[in-house]
Structures are given as structure tokens and as C-alpha cells.
Amino acid sequence: MAATPATGFSVGSTASAGPKVGFTQLNASSVKLNPKKYLTSFSGLKAANSVSCESQSSFLGDESTLVLKQGYNSMAQKYSNRSYTRVQPQASYKVAILGASGGIGQPLALLVKMSPLVSELNLYDIANVKGVAADLSHCNTPSKVSDFTGESELAACLRDVDVVVIPAGVPRKPGMTRDDLFNINANIVKTLVGAVADNCPDAFIHIISNPVNSTVPIAAEVLKQKGVYDPKKLFGVTTLDVVRANTFVAQKKNLKLIDVDVPVVGGHAGITILPLLSKAKPSITLTDEEVQELTVRIQNAGTEVVEAKAGAGSATLSMAYAAARFVESSLRALDGDTDVYECSFIQSELAELPFFASRIKLGKDGVEAVISSELQGLTEYEQKALEELKTELKASIEKGVAFVQKQAIAA
């Protein structure tokens, strides 16, 4: 059954400025993956009549892995009696990573370099990016890698880019909350998004820099001031919360990871992260104690990594993995795949807040629909947690908006 709209109304922003968002709300029960375009090849695969894609940890995710397998098998069968020795990838999109020499940026750049949909990969940082680019350029995947260092080269990095990913900023250290990062990372995001507005205003913008609950509203305000804000193309990357929820649930219930899908809503910090375990696929049975234990672990997973690294860093590898998955989903949507769904922190009215993370459908123009039904029929525990997170999330959003507006007045 194809995904069909459950309702006919649009969702607009409650923010004081910016255009209304033409998101359709969809019923989650109608969602089905039935892609019409396939990732037909990858440079690491030899031409054959079939290919095995059984890895459960591919950053492509289970949907993309299945698409890759089906598409490659179909293509290989079609040409099996011809003289072709391999199927060339259809790389056609330009991606820029801002903060590419950092702890998240480097592994993220490697994973994006592996995508058969990327033709050009631009890497930007204030220092040490040339070596990263030189290293990556030796990988025999289709995309051309270019390096850009410092503010004077930022515009060239962003010219004609389709997807911009921003992991730039300082990492979290032991005892530091995401909110402690605000003053440093807020300025970084403001500057970088301003450059995006000037050089590639139509690009998908993926915000990773923490605190996401505030940096996404900062990005929105900057884009509004520049007159190029399209709320359907601004995303806070919360995929890591989904990745963690899927992993922890699979471990707890001894399930195959590829089968598990847990929607995570709210925001991207502490109690604002709300895994909807009652909506997990496949359906699982959990005691009240297990629900609380899993919820708290998912909410505090970032702190778990920070403490385990004992001052040596934060969650960089898992964040890079999750971000690469979201980038791949965006590229698939841009390439015409009509069945791409992810959770993301976007401008929304789903919970009477200006921004909110929920499952969305991605299309060529960005957010195509918001899956509203996943907030219906929640358990008592989830409903209470949802109400409790709103106060903190609202404050974080307002902090981001106020930061940009105060700077504008001061200027």
C-alpha cells in the first residue's frame, strides 16, 4: 500500500517570523518503503549475478541496504549476457562538511565518501583539513574530494552545494552539559549558516553542532534575516537517538537489529529525548521498569560515552555513523526516492512548539510530510514524559532565537 495522506491540512510554524511550512501530516500505518529509484551500484562491488548485503551495521540503514541489494541484483541480471564488466555508480550530488577535521567530521567524511550518490565532497575547517582531504582522496569511490581552509575559502566550499552538514564546534567534556556548549557553538553555527545563506541558499542544511535544541533555531533566525529561510530544508540531526534506541532495544529483547525501528521525538538533549517504545517495530513487551531503564539510558547515552572516554572526547564515531545515514537518506530523496523516512528536529507545530523532533517523510524539496500519528495513543508514561519535556525544549528554542535577535539589535 502506498503512503497516502491521512489528513488534508498543512502545518505552519508558531515562530514569529518565517514562512508557513507546507508539510502534510501522514498516518504512520500508511508508510511503506517502495522505492522507484535504486542505488544500482557501488564501486567496491564486482559485477555478478547477485550480491550479498547482509550487514546489519551499514550506515545506509536497512532500507538503503535492501534497495542496494535489489537494485544491484536487477541490474546485474539485466546485463549478465552482455559484455559489461561492471555497473558504474550514478554519482551526481555535491556535499559540504563544515568542521571536517574534527572528531565527528573525519569519520563522517569517510562514510559520505563511500556513498555512490556523491560526486563532489567539499571539506572545510579552520585548520588541518588538507591532510584529511588528501587521505580521503585515495579511496577508490566516485566522489572528488576538495579541501577549504579558513573563512576566506568558505564561500568557494559552499558554491552550488546540494547538502551541507555542520558538525563544527567544541565537543562535550566530562561534567559539561550540551547547554554549556552554547556560547561557543552558537557563534560558530551563526557564522557558518550565514555563509550557507549567501552561497547555497537552496541546499539541505544538516545541523549536528550541539546544543541542537538551540542551534537549529539559531540557523533558522539567520536564514530569516538573510531572506532565504525554507523550513523544509533545515534539519537538526537527531538520528543518533534513533540509532541508540534501536541498538539498546535489540540488545534488551535479543532481536535482529535490522528489524528494529523505534521512533524518537522531542529534542536532542536529556529529557527532551523521548523514545516511543510503545511504537517500536516489531512490537515488544516491556515491564514498567524496563521502559524506564531503556528511556533513561537512551537519554543519557551521550554522557555514557563522555564518561567512558574520560576526558578524551565525546560521541564522535556513533554520531558520524548516524549523520551519514541521514545524509544518505537526504541524497536518496533528492534523487527521487519517494519512500524515505527519518526522525529529525524541524520547524513544526506537532507539539505546540516552534521546533520538534518527529518522524518525517523526505522528498526532493526537503520535508514532505510529518508523521503525526506516532504521537497518538501514547502510554501514560510517554504522555507524561512528553508534557514534561516541553518546558525545557521551549526554553532551549527561545534561547537560540534570542541569541540571534540580540546580536542583530546590537549590530
Catalytic residue IDs? 268
Other Cβ atoms less than 10 A from the Cβ of 377: the count is 11
In our burial notation (b when 16+ CB lie closer than 10 A, e otherwise), range 240-268 reads bbbbbbbbbbbeeeeeeebebbbbbbbbb
* Residue 239 near residue 343 (C-beta atoms within 8 A): yes
Q: Do the beta carbons of residue 359 and residue 244 sit within 8 Å?
A: no
Q: By CB neighbour count within 10 A (0-12 exposed, 13-18 middle, 19+ buried), where does 311 fall?
A: exposed
Cβ-Cβ contacts under 8 Å for 78 (sequence gap 6 or more): none
- Determine contact, residues 296/134, Cβ cutoff 8 Å: no
Strand segments (E) across 16-114? 23-26, 93-98
3-class secondary-structure state, position 286: coil
357 close to 268: Cβ distance less than 8 angstroms? yes
Q: Are 141 and 161 in contact (CB under 8 A)?
A: no
Cα 36 to chain centroid distance, Å, stands at 22
β-pairing, 355-363 with 340-347?
antiparallel
User: Is the peptide bond between 116 and the residue preceding it cis, with omega within 30 degrees of 0?
Assistant: no
DSSP 64-101: HHHHHHHHHHHHHHHTTTSS---------EEEEEETTT
Give the angle 324-19-228 at the CA atoms, nearest 5°: 60
- Asked if the bond preceding 282 is cis, omega within 30° of 0, the reply is yes
Contact 399, 267 (CB under 8 A): no
